[in-house]
Amino acid sequence: MPYGAVLHVPAGWEALPPVPANGPEILRATGGPGQNLIVFKIPANGKTAAQVADVAQEKLEAHGYDDFTRTETRFAGQPGVALDFVTRRNSNGAVIYRTREYFAVRGNAAFVLGMGSATWEEHLPLIEQIADRFELAQ
């Protein structure tokens, strides 16, 4: 909890060290092949969760991700945003990997929980369950 957030991962998942090349990543975990999550903590700079999601979407689009949809949702016990997008397509343009990132702001920090899957419909309930249990520490 040194980062101000509590992440509950399913039994059998393993926490992994952050990858500095990814930027302000504070935690990653895996449940096996194709089941990964990542948590970022970034300066909010006075932005709302929706505004942080806007900036993230611009950066993700610049990396070639597409088909964005956003939903206002509760995340980390407060109003937040969920941003869904396509991370990978095959050579025919068919989607082979989708990602959802959840955004919440507390004070000067924004927290982002990102999870993706190659089998979206199968893993979406698990993604939502993990996000429902994400907490900002007091």
Each residue of 8-35: pLDDT tens digit? Answer: 888 999 988 888 777 787 888 998 887 8
Identify the pLDDT of residue 16: 87
Each residue of 58-107: pLDDT tens digit? Answer: 999 999 999 999 999 999 999 999 999 999 999 999 999 999 999 999 99
What percent of the chain has pLDDT above 70?
A: 98
pLDDT above 60: residue 116: yes
Bridge partner residues of 19 (DSSP): none
Which ranges of 1-138 does DSSP label H, i.e. alpha helix? 49-62, 120-132
Give domain limits for the chain.
Answer: 5-136
CATH topology of domain 5-136: Protein Transport Mog1p; Chain A (3.40.1000)
And the tokens for 99? Answer: 């990602």
Each residue of 28-43: pLDDT tens digit? Answer: 899 888 788 999 999 9
